[in-house]
Structure 1
């Protein structure tokens, strides 16, 4: 009798241990860590904090975490790798550099692939964004929302840019990327890759005629003081991704996963609103500073000028053809 009790107890213990082994490891096991390159007082940072607060509140404190701002947890490439391994739980990453880990995301770095910021929202929230999401998940990353990182436009000290021909002969600083060099060269300009910290003095002394960036960057660096023409080409609209580790996500219960998805959407809506406010404030400072700002309603001529850039990219990456067309042919 006693032996039977021991056997029964032993069998129960083994069954219980087996049940625990197959149960998902929930977020109760540890606090989440969130990676962020931006300073604490920034639209992205506020969006991330709101995301974590909502997840903690809606899970009744079962999931807690902290956002580490200003890149204190390392560089973006390192953070992406940690995310894929489940060492990092979530973060916001530019889809530009993300291309090293997930090649499909390079598509959004193609110039003029988006016609406007509202169109970027629509596409990233729709089928094209879902296609990128599948590519991200294959690499161990779950996208929860696509943040607004602004639209890059040309500024210079010479003249307004209204057509691609206006760039001809102009010396333009660009980021060190073949796509962006090709973008300037396709319009007859002279692309000059250089460190961002050197741009102000280079424009002031005539080493370059201008550069390109979003309004908050153009304003906060005081580049508008030496480059008084700002042309809203919006040639690069590269979103940032609120992403989490697939390992962390898969360890959640279905109820927790739904909470996380909803919090991600709410966070994205908030961040986009805050970015719009920040951008409007920068534009006011720019215009009050005497900058001549010109909008370009029809960007079709610029898009046509990019044909060689796209041909070169697709020749090197033929597997991306369908995805590029999904973005490029959208209304």
Structure 2
């Protein structure tokens, strides 16, 4: 329990330090040239996304903008800056909190430093499948997580899919947790992901995504974990051709709005934005599902070895991770509410 509190306190301290640096350095200047013209038009909303322009989340936000323009009679519009034009996710998150950006799409993991409820959807083996995940995030549990962000300067609008993450390696098949023993596995910079890999017996190596291909090629790491589209588009399969379908995490992505900007809107415009954001979700999921199918087909055609392990030993091995991060009764209750959703609900 002490370790868990220390990690959370450390994350919160880093977040506060980043905010102070952000303010002291005049960080609203980030992307200033791109945003300067937009400030002149109060009805032109701005959104940022680190993903490239053709990514499903970017397309979904653009669809939200199209709906917003149509349903407001052209009064409200939205412009998306994709491909990290306004900085990495942690940067755009800060800008949005401070009111310098209207919307940002971020992965859920960094939000746990803002609101602890956001850690729940990142728990390993929380969701049984995509249907379960979508039902939970569209329903009361998801609304609780989004609502927890508002006191911290963010309005949670909706969740987008990020697929199921599985392990891939340079050669070893991962059929049981013990198969990870001795393997150096790249993970994103997340205490939760480090704890998960270590609980499964591997050696977790936090590493920037852009360094993973070279890292595996040179043997710095023996493998990584990600979804079908990322595994394919990054061409990681060229150096790590064994993909083991553990599906250990289905952490979503979130579309957020600056609370400062939100409070300047009329109640009817707030309702309209929520409505358009919600309607962008099925649009995004259709794109995501098709992209995932295409990526899997291309990978199978390329000769990637697909392994389908029994998930039960993996689920058992990560139980200590749940205990480590669910130290507060409210967090455990939220996780159990999601876990125990009936098949009819999901």
The residue correspondences of 1:114-125 to structure 2 (distance < 5 A) are 114-125=127-138
* Residue 278 of structure 2 is aligned to residue 276 of structure 1: no
Q: Could you tell me how far apart the structure 2 residues matched to 1:310 and 1:52 are? A: 38
Residue equivalent to 2:230: 217
Q: What is the DSSP-based 3-state SS (H/G/I as helix, E as strand, rest coil) of the residue aligned with 1:158?
A: coil
Q: Could you tell me how far apart the structure 1 residues matched to 2:191 and 2:253 are? A: 21
Q: 2:214 aligns with which of 201, 206, 227?
A: 201
Offset, 1:319:
5.5
Contact between 2:121 and 2:251, CA under 8 Å: does it hold in 1?
yes
Q: 1:151 aligns with which of 150, 158, 164?
A: 164
Q: Could you tell me how far apart the structure 2 residues matched to 1:282 and 1:235 are? A: 19
Residue equivalent to 1:95: 108
Q: What is the DSSP-based 3-state SS (H/G/I as helix, E as strand, rest coil) of the residue aligned with 2:326?
A: helix
Residue equivalent to 2:336: 325
Q: Could you tell me how far apart the structure 1 residues matched to 2:182 and 2:109 are? A: 27
Offset, 1:100:
2.1
Instruction: Work out which of the two has the higher radius of gyration on C-alpha atoms and give 1 or 2.
Output: 1
Q: What is the DSSP-based 3-state SS (H/G/I as helix, E as strand, rest coil) of the residue aligned with 2:80?
A: strand
Residue equivalent to 1:258: 271
Residue equivalent to 2:193: 180
Offset, 1:60:
0.7
Q: Could you tell me how far apart the structure 2 residues matched to 1:175 and 1:217 are? A: 13
76 and 172 in structure 1: CA distance in 2 versus 1, 3 angstrom threshold: closer
Q: Which runs of 4+ in 1 moved over 4 A?
A: none
Contact between 1:171 and 1:210, CA under 8 Å: does it hold in 2?
yes
Residue equivalent to 2:203: 190
44 and 261 in structure 1: CA distance in 2 versus 1, 3 angstrom threshold: same
Contact between 1:225 and 1:289, CA under 8 Å: does it hold in 2?
no
Q: Could you tell me how far apart the structure 2 residues matched to 1:196 and 1:258 are? A: 37
205 and 64 in structure 1: CA distance in 2 versus 1, 3 angstrom threshold: closer
Contact between 1:93 and 1:241, CA under 8 Å: does it hold in 2?
yes
Residue equivalent to 1:313: 325
| Range that drifts further, 175-184 or 195-204 | 195-204
Q: Could you tell me how far apart the structure 2 residues matched to 1:220 and 1:65 are? A: 28
Q: Could you tell me how far apart the structure 1 residues matched to 2:185 and 2:314 are? A: 16
Contact between 1:230 and 1:294, CA under 8 Å: does it hold in 2?
yes
Offset, 1:318:
6.0
Contact between 1:156 and 1:230, CA under 8 Å: does it hold in 2?
yes
Residue equivalent to 1:293: 306
Aligned length: 302
Offset, 1:293:
1.3
* Residue 153 of structure 2 is aligned to residue 137 of structure 1: no
Q: Could you tell me how far apart the structure 1 residues matched to 2:266 and 2:212 are? A: 49
Runs (5+) with no aligned partner, structure 1: 1-27
Q: What is the DSSP-based 3-state SS (H/G/I as helix, E as strand, rest coil) of the residue aligned with 2:149?
A: helix
Runs (5+) with no aligned partner, structure 2: 1-40
Q: What is the DSSP-based 3-state SS (H/G/I as helix, E as strand, rest coil) of the residue aligned with 2:245?
A: strand
RMSD of the TM alignment (CA)? Answer: 2.1
Contact between 2:43 and 2:75, CA under 8 Å: does it hold in 1?
no
Contact between 2:146 and 2:158, CA under 8 Å: does it hold in 1?
no
Q: Could you tell me how far apart the structure 1 residues matched to 2:110 and 2:88 are? A: 11
